[in-house]
Amino acid sequence: MFTLNSDERAIRETARDFADEFLAPHALEWDEHMHFPIEVLRKSGSVGLGGIYVAEDVGGSALRRLDAVRIFEELATGCPAVAAYISIHNMAAWMIDAYGDDAQRFRWLPGMTSMEILGSYALTEPGVGSDAAALTTKAVRDGDDYILNGVKQFISGAGANDVYVMMVRTGDEGARGISALIVPADTPGLTVGPNEKKMGWKAQPTRQVILTDARVPVANRLGAEGDGFRIAMNGLNGGRLNIAACSVGGAQAALDKTVPYLAQRQAFGAPLLKNQALQFDLADMRTQLEAARTLLWRAAAALDADDADKVELCAMAKRFATDAGFDVANKALQLHGGYGYLAEYGLEKIVRDLRVHQILEGTNEIMRVVVARSMTSTARGAGAA
């Protein structure tokens, strides 16, 4: 797992080359102007980044989750916000690939894998964050259609995308009443709110999605009625790993800026890099990132192997890597002093972008709940035995 073969190195280098050429040179400008670089997203599809773990028969790259986390780490060195949207698009594409029938797969996925069709994942609602099973967006059956009413919140790509994988309530309260629908963005009755002004992630739009008697064919449902919550949670396992990888990549970029800065910056008659206290800071930062990367790769391998502990490992990796990534980026800003606070150095953007990773795809508090539940259920089982 830790020694890459030639194919794995080539995959990683392709992602890094893409980040260096198409993301990093423009990241600060996109952030300043809240520009969503659709033209660059199209380019990412041409190198296989639109369907990283989607099957090849619909244009996907059919790679492993372990390959994916390495890809997203490298992409995030160029721009964590754009890398994170590519992750969300991939999650939506994978859900259609994994749970869709052939008609659904061949209708949507060739365009999604090429990034000609941009996808979004729509679960969160204004009054429903961590308690996803309590969502209230209704889908009422009317012949061969569902009629949708409700509001989704914090939907990445909304207003610029083409399709949503949306969780809606088709049955009673609770997780078993939720279904998953493929909802085209041009569906009559579907509108979006204004682009939200955020602390970070300014290079991708985030909007409400408002549904008012929006009619969607039953044929667009993924799986059976009531399968939606399971589909959503399975999608989030991979999404959590990808966001964790974006945190590691963003923080690595911040650390990579810091060492040469400390070598050049003089204080008290010597380069700052010669200060042992600052050397200790750098050592701790690298150690944090290496530990996060190791846990992340371990969790990705477990998800690939469908191991029994995959859910807890994905939660652990998400919690640890997003916390470590933000801490390292924030420390890198501190080590740059006042210059770190200036937009032109890029540190403050990384800090702003990485902060939300501790909230989305399940807050880090919820990740602790996931791990703790696994531990306590195992203990209860052992006690019963």
Catalytic machinery residues: 361
| Secondary structure (3-state) at 221 | strand
Q: Across the strands, what pairs with 179? A: 168
Question: Do 51 and 106 form a contact (C-beta atoms < 8 A)?
Answer: no
Dihedral pair phi/psi, residue 257, rounded to 5°? -75, -25
Residue whose structure tokens are 């991708």: 204
Beta strands in the chain (DSSP E): 119-122, 138-142, 145-156, 163-169, 178-184, 190-192, 206-217, 221-222, 266-267, 270-271
Alpha-carbon dihedral angle through residues 369, 121, 231, 375, given to the nearest 10 degrees: -10
Give the whole-angstrom CA distance, residue 301 versus residue 69.
Answer: 10
Which helix (H) or strand (E) segment holds residue 302: the answer is helix 276-305
H-type helices in 19-51, by residue range?
27-33, 38-46
Of the chain, the end-to-end C-alpha distance in Å amounts to 35
Give the whole-angstrom CA distance, residue 195 versus residue 348.
Answer: 21
Give the whole-angstrom CA distance, residue 17 versus residue 170.
Answer: 45
Cα angle 242, 247, 250 (rounded to 5 degrees) comes to 120
Dihedral pair phi/psi, residue 168, rounded to 5°? -135, 160
